[in-house]
């Protein structure tokens, strides 16, 4: 059989690079497209020697320079942390709109399956708990976080429109709070921020009173979900995340325990429009794909801490 070819936009990013790894292990040919706004060549450097991996440095806001047959397009390109999308608001809006349309057009031209990596942020600060795929969300359309939230909501609308208008083979995946190795030390999200500060002896900054909740899903589980959706014909949207809901304070304490850090906890102001609760209903993923997270938060955090220790040590050595 011919080797399947996958295009991964944002493939040098945190989740994207892990997806590229999994696709190469599955003996797919991979075309990674990234402009390195927030991604890193280091994340895919180990794949460059593979004859089945190609890296294209390109902004997906331009027509994608991908030649040949394509079987599946994974669209992950976008700043994803608040630090990044607040620093790059226009780029975030553009990649969610123009970039998504370009990726959809590539998939349509080649007759490929299209998988959109959307986000739990489309639910905003939810009034429904846990969040099902049928929930329309509670998003502030003009708040600072809207550049990411609304970009992803537009991307979902565009994906659904291509399916209705052109009969395109599309799917929408809503990713919840993924974490793991290859997150940047300056990423700004809770896990990398907590781990970095704990390992460097700085107090952990907990927003508000720390009772807001998150549902952390280890990156290997998220990637497995993306592959399962891609292998199906399901249109989504599909929630991918864990139902193991933890408070931010619980996560901070767990990081302190795992790192053995004596750093304390410092309370800081709550960011504008920060969601109070976040937990997916993953019934659809279980029933349609047999998917559920396999890696407990504690095990995933231990692996993440180990990776951050190595990164910080390498930085000190330089």
Q: How far is the C-alpha of 183 from the C-alpha of 255, rounded, in Å? A: 15
Q: How far is the C-alpha of 39 from the C-alpha of 78, rounded, in Å? A: 9
Parallel, antiparallel, or unpaired: how do β-strands 265-268 and 204-207 relate?
A: parallel
Report which secondary-structure segment, H or E, holds 267: strand 265-268
Residue 85 known to be catalytic: no
Q: How far is the C-alpha of 137 from the C-alpha of 118, rounded, in Å? A: 13
Reading the block at residue 159, the tokens are 């994906």
Residue 87 backbone dihedrals phi, psi, to 5 degrees: -80, -30
Greatest Cα-to-Cα distance within the chain, rounded to the nearest angstrom: 58
Whether the CB-CB separation of 173 and 117 falls below 8 Å is answered with yes
Q: How far is the C-alpha of 10 from the C-alpha of 38, rounded, in Å? A: 9
- Of the candidates 238, 24, 16, 18, which has an alpha carbon nearest to the alpha carbon of residue 132? 238
Marked catalytic residue, from 85, 123, 135, 148: 148
Residue 118: CB partners within 8 Å, gap ≥ 6? 152, 155, 156, 172, 173, 174, 175, 237
Catalytic residues: 148
């Amino acid at each position: 059989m011919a080797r399947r070819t996958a295009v991964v936009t944002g493939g040098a990013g945190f989740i994207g690079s892990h997806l590229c790894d999994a696709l190469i292990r599955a003996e797919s040919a991979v075309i990674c497209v990234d402009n390195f706004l927030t991604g890193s060549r280091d994340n895919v450097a180990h794949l460059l020697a593979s004859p089945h991996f190609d890296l294209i440095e390109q902004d997906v806001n331009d027509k994608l320079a991908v030649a040949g047959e394509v079987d599946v397009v994974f669209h992950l390109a976008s700043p994803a942390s608040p630090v990044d999308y607040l620093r790059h608001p226009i780029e975030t809006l553009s990649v969610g709109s123009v970039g998504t349309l370009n990726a959809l057009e590539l998939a349509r031209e080649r007759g490929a399956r299209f998988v959109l990596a959307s986000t739990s942020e489309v639910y905003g600060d939810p009034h429904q708990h846990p969040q099902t795929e049928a929930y329309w969300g509670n998003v502030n359309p003009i708040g600072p976080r809207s550049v990411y939230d609304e970009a992803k909501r537009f991307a979902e609308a565009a994906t659904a429109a291509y399916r209705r208008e052109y009969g395109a083979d599309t799917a929408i995946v809503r990713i919840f709070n993924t974490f793991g190795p290859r997150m940047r030390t300056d990423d700004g999200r809770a896990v990398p921020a907590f781990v970095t500060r704990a390992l460097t002896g700085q107090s952990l900054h907990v927003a508000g009173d720390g009772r807001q909740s998150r549902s952390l899903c280890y990156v290997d589980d998220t990637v497995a979900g993306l592959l399962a959706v891609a292998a199906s014909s399901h249109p989504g949207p599909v929630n991918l995340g864990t139902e193991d809901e933890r408070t931010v304070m619980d996560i901070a304490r767990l990081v302190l325990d795992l790192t053995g850090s004596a750093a304390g906890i410092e309370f800081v102001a709550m960011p504008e429009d920060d969601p109070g609760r976040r937990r997916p209903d993953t019934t659809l993923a279980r029933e349609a794909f047999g998917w559920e997270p396999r890696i407990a938060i504690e095990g995933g955090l231990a692996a993440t801490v180990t990776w951050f220790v190595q990164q910080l040590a390498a930085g000190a050595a330089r």
